[in-house]
Structure 1
Amino acid sequence: MRVVVGSKNPTKVEGTRQAFLQYFEDVEVTGVEVKTDIPSQPFDGETITGAIERAKKSYSSEYDFSVGIEAGLFRFDGTITGYIDFQVAAIYNGKVYTLGFGPGFEYPPMVIGEVLKGKEVGDVMSELSGIEDLGKKTGAVHYLSKGVISRTELARLSVTMALIPWINRELYL
């Protein structure tokens, strides 16, 4: 099975590979650079739109599926900062796309404060952690969870959730 990811971020490519290998054999996953129309720091529905756009723009007939993964901040009342970060995955076969979300978590208030001033989460978290390109390595979630959860794992979980209709076609498609 051939799968393309609408990103060259190694955490997204590896998380996608791990997700597909749970259900399929001989999986080949490639990452390609994709330009989207959403802001570099998406909020709310922009995150979902970004995942779909990445999946659709990376698709070609040489692949069985394309995958778009986008992390973004969703507004939630009652949280410390008013925002929860979710990773969203879209899987596309050239006709139909499916969606999945990974677990959500909250950033520290100072991170959200800087993001609301125009910075990207990844840049703020790299400064906070002292780890350059944190989002292409273990991710902010790894730093904040004290090494228990990685960004690759968030990608795997969101892609796994988006795979549910594909592995249960008789119920969905």
Structure 2
Amino acid sequence: MFSLVRMSWKYVVESLKYYIKAMRSTILIIGGIIVLLGVSWILGGIPVSDVFSLLSMSKSPGNRYEWGIYISAVLLRIAPILGFVEVKSLTLDEKNRIKASTMSGHTVVVGLGHLGLKILKALIDRGEKIVLVVDKSQAEREEVLELKEKLPVVVGNPSLSSTLSKAGLERAKAL
């Protein structure tokens, strides 16, 4: 039971890391909106009750500081849509890159030759978390294109540390 709870927390943390990386521009925009809200509130000397009335859009803005809060409220309602669009517009390669960069406790498999395919199949059968690293010459192979749908695939020169870093080698349990 404890290991199941620990595994689910690891999954939650990895998922959060994935979505934070996937929605970084949305998060920056929301941060900017919150700064606009705070600056308008502080400079305008607006009472807290009026701030909440403006945020709930139950009060019309009067001065420019109230307009800043009102605009922040409108933009904060639109921001989740932007985040949804941002995540949905990621290509499969971008999703794989983000997923690979946030994984931990996984196995990095390098190459998809005869031995690599056997090892990969055995790891998949065991339910292991895997990141596959393939050279650019192998990237368009049918097997690789099919695997991209199931697991993160990093394309690059496997002898370069930057490529292995993209596969999360520092956090991997095996290579």
Give the alignment's TM-score, normalised by structure 2: 0.25
Q: Which has the higher strand share?
A: 1
Give the alignment's TM-score, normalised by structure 1: 0.25
Q: Which has the higher helix share?
A: 2
- Structure whose CA Rg is larger: 2
